[in-house]
Amino acid sequence: MLPRTPEGRASIVPSPPWHYSGDVLTIEYRTDPANVEALLPPGVALADEDPGAVAIIWADWQSCSDSLEELIDPVRSQYKEAFVVVRCAYAGEIYSRCVYIWVDKDFALARGWYQGYPKKFGSIWMTRPISVGRAGPRLGSGEVFGATLQANDRRLAEARLTLSGGSETAGFVNALPMLHSRWMPSIEKDDGDSLAELVTMRSRDVDLGPAFTGEADIRLFDAPGEELAALEPSEMIAGYWRQVGATFDGGSRLA
Residues 3-22 that bind its own copies (CB under 8 A): 3-7, 9-10, 12, 16, 19-22
How many chain residues touch its own copies (CB under 8 A)?
A: 104
Among 155, 164, 202, 232, indicate the residue that binds its own copies (CB under 8 A): 155
Considering only 33, 125, 177, 236, the residue that binds its own copies (CB under 8 A) is 125
Report how far residue 13's alpha carbon sits from residue 109's, in angstroms, rounded to the nearest whole number.
9
* 179: contact with its own copies by CB under 8 A: no
- Cis, bond preceding 185 (omega within 30 deg of 0): no
Provide the minimum distance between the beta carbon of 114 and its own copies in the complex, in angstroms, as a whole number. 7
For its own copies, give the closer residue by CB, 89 or 243. 243
Measured CA to CA, the distance from residue 202 to residue 60 in angstroms comes to 19
Q: DSSP alpha helices (H): ranges in the chain? A: 33-37, 106-115
39 binds its own copies (CB under 8 A): yes
Binding mask 185-224 for its own copies (x = CB under 8 A): xxxxx----xx-x-x-x---x-xxx--------------x
Nearer to its own copies, 50 or 118 (CB): 118
- Per DSSP, the residues of 149-182 read EEETTEEEEEEEEEEEEEES-S-STT-S-EEEEE
Binding flag, residue 184, its own copies (CB under 8 A): yes
* 99 lies in the site for its own copies, by CB under 8 A: yes
Per CB under 8 A, contacts with its own copies among 61-90 are 61-64, 69, 71-78
Q: In a 10 Å sphere around its CB, with 0-12 CB exposed, 13-18 middle and 19+ buried, how is residue 163 labelled?
A: buried
C-alpha 180/C-alpha 201 separation (Å) is: 8
